[in-house]
Amino acid sequence: MKPRTERSRELLTKLMATPVRRKYFETLRRMLGPSGLISIREEQFFLVLAIAIGLLAGFCVVLFRVAIAAARIWLLGSSLHPSTTRLLLVPSLTGLVIALIAVRYFPRVRGSGVNQTKGALYIYDGYIGPETVVAKFVLTALAIGSGQSLGAEDPSLQIGAGLASAMGRWLKLSKERLRLMAPVGAAAGVAAAFNAPITAVLFVIEEVIGRWSTGILGAVVLSAISSVVVERWFLGDEPLFRVPQYTLNHPGELLAYAVLGVTGGAASVVFVKIIKNLRPWLRRQPQWSQYLQPGVAGLLIGFIAIWFPQVMGAGYEWMDLAMHKRFAWEVLGILAGLKIVSTALSFATGTPGGLFAPVLFMGAMLGGFVATVEQQLFPAIAVPVGAYALVGMGALFAGILRAPMTSVFMVLEISGNYSIILPVMICNSISYVISRAFQEVPLFDLLSRQDGLDLPSLEEEPERALLRVEDAMRPTLGRALLGDEGIGSARGIAASTQETNFLVSLGEGRWSVLSREALLSPEHDETELVRSLIRARVPRLYQDQSLEVALRFMRDRPMLPVVHRANLDLLMGVVSVEDILRTYRKAGVAEPETVEVS
Amino acid sequence: MLTLSLIIVLGFSFTRLVVGSFNNMQRGLAERYYAEGNRAMDEKRPAQAVTAYESALVYSHNSLQYRLKLTDALVASGASSEAMAQLRDYREQRPEDAQVNLKLARLEAHGQHVDEALRYYQQSIDGVWPDHSDPVPQKIDARLEAAEYLVSLGRKDEAEGVLVAVAAELPAASPEQPRLAELLMRNGDSDRALNIYEMELSQKKNDPAALLGAAQASLAGGSYSTARRYLEEIKPESPEAAKLRGELDRVEALDPFARSASGKVRTERTMAAFRIALERLAACGAPFAQSMTNIKTGAATDPAQWSGFAKWAEQLAPMMNERKLRGRDDVIESAMRFALRSEIAAQKNCGKPTLDDEALLLLARQRLGAGQ
């Protein structure tokens, strides 16, 4: 009997006997890597990796949330009502420890983590050091656990991005792929922290990537979903808030919601202005004071918490109560105001922690406040406090973080109620417009610029009007040459113009460019077809394409044809490099230094 | 890929370990605060109990048991509206929860919100009870509580509907049978109550409680001899049985409608009942006495209840002697209606009745029905 290996070899030879079989097995062999595992193309691998990142970021965020809860118990005690001594000592002393570590050893962990992640994406080729991730994890857990008025979502974003970055480097991904890892991890982080994958994807696109990019969308979505699966596996699928039922009874109620939009916009401007002025002022203070600032902020927050403990931490449980009419209007108003102050203090002093949750808190309280006041002033109008609190969250999110798409979908995702979409859109739009009118630069861009970084912004993108091929193209003088016409006829056309290059239509939407020199070359007989002179085809352009696309296609070609999308042989005009440059010069895009910095 | 999978498996295991330990810690804290809250409640310190239960809920925020205890503590500390808000919040998420609906019904009943209370009672009866417990006895208990509330409101027909439904589904050996019989009695349905007590006696012969109940039901139904027979079977005689025997004696002595009563006895008993009722009304205090004075002085009569009784008494008083009552069944009937209605009115508005008053009240229930 033959040995087993020999029999296998014989079988393989038999199987590969025909060309078709050989091709099939060749493909299979290519899929088998040196380790015997299936190896896949880089794009596919990237998607698989996105799922893996989502899972790992999910684990990290679950541990992060547990760490925050454990820190809270450890530092402030397990009772719902900590003693006054603890309220004063814990946030201040923990603030001092955090400042010591953050200022001296890990300056990149200060702040929310959104603009740091964006900076990593655009400046450091997607690099976020592992030490930053670990320090962010520990220090933010301590900060929120000790009662600083900050949230866990934005740090989760940075932790997820850092994890993804580390994995990308470990897997030795290409530079281009490595740069994309940060947003993939960021989406996973924020999705697990907020238990809302759609919101996470949109937030990452609006705030981190800063532009709509279809190339990365699939990976971002996959990572966000996988991390939410992990989060729900370990922490349950309970929503952040128990959202009351809501129905819009009469379109007239939308007017009442508009008041919330205006109030939300005003509150957003106030908050951003405080951060805008307080943060650089605190940074200008002597270096030694940087070590004290988070401690002082903690002391002030602890002092506020003696009467209003709701301002401490993220405060999701209080938002839930606000939605269920558990606070009087005076309390709601005071809480909204105090949260603006306490969050500004925590954030401007550089304490690590996010703005996401505090912004929602402000919105919920403000929404509840406006609803209860409207209820008293106009008892005839149906004013559901829960819906107002929810819509208020969206309004403040749109006004402060200036992520309008995210703000709308966030409310829809956490409420699971489509009827609320009209009030949300109205309120968010009003708040957003007011915020833009009084504060030109969005908060995260403002923070980046205060840190000396100029990063792209989705909001500013549309302001730079997109230049299109139609803006640069010029009409052709005379008709294009035809591939099937004689060289003699073509020379006749050339003789009637001064053009140095001619477009040649080859039919079925194919085009080429022929130089005057090649056309008039005596090497070719006049009876030959123009087609015989063609060496290469050129790509065609459409009027609606951007000039950036046109430039990419241009290479060293003297011109490109612009054709009709419905008739690819119909020439609309031509574009050359000179045309494109002339158009850019004429458009005159705003230069970075002319933009407001702080 | 293999390494990546290994990292994910390790990450999962580590996260599971940490989350599991943290959940255990939270569970421990929740139980500690819950025990603390129970202790505070036992020691009549509801404010501390509220804090403890709230802390317990931080670590086990889905626990219905803790939330229900918190609402008890809130009610005990005078924060009924907060308790109501807690329960309503919870109910928004689980409107079918029978326990929450029952608690809400009790709070609404306490706050005199009859319609809401009845709605919550009904939702509690139709609701879902915890998985680990047998829902049937709990549903019956909720029905009996709803019936008790209806009886206390005097909504006799609705109470009867609920009680009949309970009687249909309550097993014969259920310990709730005496409670059902007592509610039927209070609702004026002495026949059904007697049936239940007799059924009880067929299972537990000479059971003193069942004998006493049967005697009460018989007395309420006007079967004095049956009542006396049941009372004689109670050995040794309890204070309740002795009291009931005294009541029975008085009822027999006061009932002018008894078949054995001769014409003379009827008139004497009517006059006695009229006198007892007048004394009861007079003992009620100023309003009746004032109304009587107004009628005597010819002052304008007011439409209030007391003046109505005063006027009625004024009309009957001259007829209250043996000679004038003889052969006047219409006057006897009117005088007895006056006596019985006066006792019912006095029961609602005046102090504790005497034995004679109680006897007349029993007659009132027989003749006019409960709550009349």
Min distance A185 CA to chain B CA atoms (Å): 15
Q: Using alpha carbons only, give the angle B211, B215, B217 rounded to the nearest 5 degrees.
A: 115
Strand partners, A302: none
Whether the predicted pLDDT of A38 surpasses 50: no
Residue A507 maps to a domain: yes
Work out whether the CA dihedral A469, A470, A471, A472 comes out positive or negative.
positive
**Tokens at A157, concatenated:** 């974003």
- CA A365/CA A321 separation, integer angstroms: 10
A66:B22 CB<8 A: yes
Average the pLDDT over A49-68 and give the result: 95
Residue A572: what residue type? Answer: M
* Pair (A113, A98) in one structural domain: yes
Residue A309: what residue type? Answer: P
Of A49, A70, A80, which has the smallest distance from its Cβ to B58's Cβ? A80
Of B7, B92, B93, which has the smallest distance from its Cβ to A56's Cβ? B7
Higher pLDDT, B282 or A369: A369
- CA A61/CA A155 separation, integer angstroms: 9
Q: What is the DSSP string of A305-351?
A: HHH-GGGSS--HHHHHHHHTT-S-HHHHHHHHHHHHHHHHHHHHTT-
A63:B15 CB<8 A: yes
CATH at B233: 1.25.40.10
Whether the predicted pLDDT of A205 surpasses 80: yes
Q: Does B2 touch chain A (CB under 8 A)?
A: yes
Count: domains in chain A: 4
Min distance B135 CA to chain A CA atoms (Å): 27
Residue B45 maps to a domain: no
Residue B109 maps to a domain: no
Question: In whole angstroms, what separates CA B366 from the centre of its chain?
Answer: 20
Q: Could you tell me how many CB contacts below 8 A there are between chain A and chain B? A: 66
* Pair (B268, B351) in one structural domain: yes
* Pair (A297, A231) in one structural domain: no
The residue from B254, B273, B290 where one domain ends is: B254
Residue A334 maps to a domain: yes
Min distance B83 CA to chain A CA atoms (Å): 11
Q: Is residue A295 within 8 Å of A92, Cβ to Cβ?
A: yes
Residue B43 maps to a domain: no
pLDDT of residue A60: 96
Q: Is residue B361 within 8 Å of B343, Cβ to Cβ?
A: yes
Of A70, A79, A238, which has the smallest distance from its Cβ to B55's Cβ? A79
* Pair (A270, A387) in one structural domain: yes
Chain B residue nearest residue A242, CA to CA: B93
**Tokens at A15, concatenated:** 């199987």
The residue from B232, B254, B276 where one domain ends is: B254
Residue B103 maps to a domain: no
In this structure, what are the phi and psi dihedrals at residue A521, rounded to the nearest 5 degrees? -55, 130
**Tokens at A405, concatenated:** 């798409």
Work out whether the CA dihedral A316, A321, A322, A327 comes out positive or negative.
negative
* Pair (A169, A50) in one structural domain: yes
Helix axis angle, A577-587 to A547-554, nearest 10°:
150
How far is it between the farthest Cα atoms of chain B? Answer: 116
B62:A238 CB<8 A: yes
Residue A124 maps to a domain: yes
Note which residues in 37-66 of chain B have CB less than 8 A from chain A: 51, 54-55, 58-59, 62
Min distance B81 CA to chain A CA atoms (Å): 10
Of A38, A70, A80, which has the smallest distance from its Cβ to B22's Cβ? A70
Q: Which of the four pLDDT bands, split at 50, 70 and 90, describes residue B203?
A: confident
Q: Which of the four pLDDT bands, split at 50, 70 and 90, describes residue A14?
A: low
**Tokens at A509, concatenated:** 């939407």
Higher pLDDT, B308 or A538: A538
- CA A124/CA A115 separation, integer angstroms: 13
Q: Is residue A397 within 8 Å of A364, Cβ to Cβ?
A: no
List, in sequence order, the alpha helices (H) in B43-113: 46-59, 64-76, 80-93, 98-110
Chain A residue nearest residue B82, CA to CA: A326
Of A48, A59, A81, which has the smallest distance from its Cβ to B12's Cβ? A59
Helix axis angle, B239-254 to B355-368, nearest 10°:
70
- CA B364/CA B341 separation, integer angstroms: 7
Using an 8 Å CB-CB cutoff, list chain B residues near A230.
15
* Pair (A436, A559) in one structural domain: no
To probe the interface with B, which of A41, A74, A78 has the most B CB atoms within 10 Å?
A: A78
Beta strands in A228-330 (DSSP E): none
Min distance A22 CA to chain B CA atoms (Å): 27
Report which of A555, A274, A589, A230 is spatially closest to residue A438, judged by C-alpha positions: A274
Min distance B332 CA to chain A CA atoms (Å): 60
Using an 8 Å CB-CB cutoff, list chain B residues near A238.
62
Average the pLDDT over A343-354 and give the result: 94
Chain B residue nearest residue A69, CA to CA: B22
Cis ω on the peptide bond leading into residue B236 (within 30° of 0)?
Answer: yes
To probe the interface with B, which of A38, A44, A79 has the most B CB atoms within 10 Å?
A: A79
B4:A52 CB<8 A: yes
B85:A70 CB<8 A: no
A244:B8 CB<8 A: no
Q: Which of the four pLDDT bands, split at 50, 70 and 90, describes residue A385?
A: confident
* Pair (A258, A205) in one structural domain: no
Q: Residue B25: is it exposed, middle or buried by C-beta count within 10 angstroms (0-12/13-18/19+)?
A: middle
**Residue bearing tokens 């981190």:** A208
* Pair (B356, B274) in one structural domain: yes
Residue A574 maps to a domain: yes
Of A49, A62, A324, which has the smallest distance from its Cβ to B19's Cβ? A62
* Pair (B293, B218) in one structural domain: no
pLDDT of residue B52: 92
Full residue range of the structural domain in which residue B327 is found: 264-368
* Pair (B300, B329) in one structural domain: yes
Chain B residue nearest residue A80, CA to CA: B55
Whether the predicted pLDDT of B370 surpasses 80: no
Whether the predicted pLDDT of B101 surpasses 60: yes
Average pLDDT over chain A reads 86
Chain A residue nearest residue B33, CA to CA: A79
- State the DSSP code for A38: B
Count: domains in chain B: 2
Min distance A243 CA to chain B CA atoms (Å): 9
Of A59, A70, A324, which has the smallest distance from its Cβ to B89's Cβ? A324
A37:B14 CB<8 A: no
**Tokens at A26, concatenated:** 């060749």
* Pair (A105, A227) in one structural domain: yes
Tell me if residue A556 falls in helix, strand or coil: coil
Is-above-0.80 flag for pTM? Answer: no
Best-predicted range by mean pLDDT (A218-222, B110-114, B368-372)? A218-222
Is the backbone of residue A15 left (phi > 0), alpha (psi -120 to 50) or beta? alpha
pLDDT of residue A597: 40
* Pair (B278, B358) in one structural domain: yes
* Pair (B226, B268) in one structural domain: no
pLDDT of residue A178: 83
- CA A193/CA A184 separation, integer angstroms: 15
* Pair (A228, A263) in one structural domain: no
Using an 8 Å CB-CB cutoff, list chain B residues near A49.
4
Higher pLDDT, A505 or B268: A505
Chain A residue nearest residue B28, CA to CA: A78
Which range is least confidently modeled, A480-484, B285-289, B330-334?
B285-289
A79:B62 CB<8 A: no
Average the pLDDT over A210-214 and give the result: 67
Q: Is residue A402 within 8 Å of A373, Cβ to Cβ?
A: no
Digit-coded pLDDT (tens) for B231-263: 888 877 788 888 888 888 888 788 877 777 777
A234:B62 CB<8 A: no
**Tokens at A383, concatenated:** 């004013």
Q: Which of the four pLDDT bands, split at 50, 70 and 90, describes residue A591?
A: low
* Pair (B320, B238) in one structural domain: no
The residue from A235, A264, A283 where one domain ends is: A235
- CA A282/CA A126 separation, integer angstroms: 29
Residue B85 maps to a domain: no
Residue A269 maps to a domain: yes
* Pair (A406, A506) in one structural domain: no
* Pair (A79, A223) in one structural domain: yes
Helix axis angle, A356-377 to A253-284, nearest 10°:
140
Report which of A201, A192, A68 is spatially closest to residue A136, judged by C-alpha positions: A68
The residue from A450, A480, A503 where one domain ends is: A450
* Pair (A398, A535) in one structural domain: no
Q: What is the DSSP string of A380-406?
A: TS---HHHHHHHHHHHHIIIII--HHH
B55:A80 CB<8 A: yes
Using an 8 Å CB-CB cutoff, list chain B residues near A70.
22, 25
Residue B330 maps to a domain: yes
CATH at A422: 1.10.3080.10
A234:B15 CB<8 A: yes
Residue B181 maps to a domain: no
Report which of A213, A267, A278, A205 is spatially closest to residue A398, judged by C-alpha positions: A267
* b (16+ CB within 10 A) / e for A170-191: eeebeeebbbbbbbbbbbbbbb
* Pair (B250, B290) in one structural domain: no
A80:B15 CB<8 A: no
Whether the predicted pLDDT of A405 surpasses 50: yes
Tell me if residue A573 falls in helix, strand or coil: strand
Whether the predicted pLDDT of A96 surpasses 70: yes
Note which residues in 11-40 of chain B have CB less than 8 A from chain A: 11-12, 14-16, 18-19, 22, 25-26, 29, 33
* Pair (A579, A478) in one structural domain: yes
* Pair (B200, B250) in one structural domain: yes
Full residue range of the structural domain in which residue A32 is found: 1-39
* Pair (B355, B294) in one structural domain: yes
Residue A464 maps to a domain: no
To probe the interface with B, which of A39, A42, A49, A66 has the most B CB atoms within 10 Å?
A: A66
CATH at A476: 3.10.580.10
Residue B69 maps to a domain: no
Rounded percentage of chain A residues whose pLDDT exceeds 70: 89
Residue A462 maps to a domain: no
Digit-coded pLDDT (tens) for A410-459: 988 888 778 888 999 999 999 999 999 998 888 988 998 888 887 777 66
* Pair (B270, B361) in one structural domain: yes
- CA B265/CA B8 separation, integer angstroms: 99
A238:B92 CB<8 A: no
Going by C-beta distance under 8 Å and a sequence separation of 6 or more, which residues neighbour residue A416?
A: A239, A243
* Pair (B270, B224) in one structural domain: no
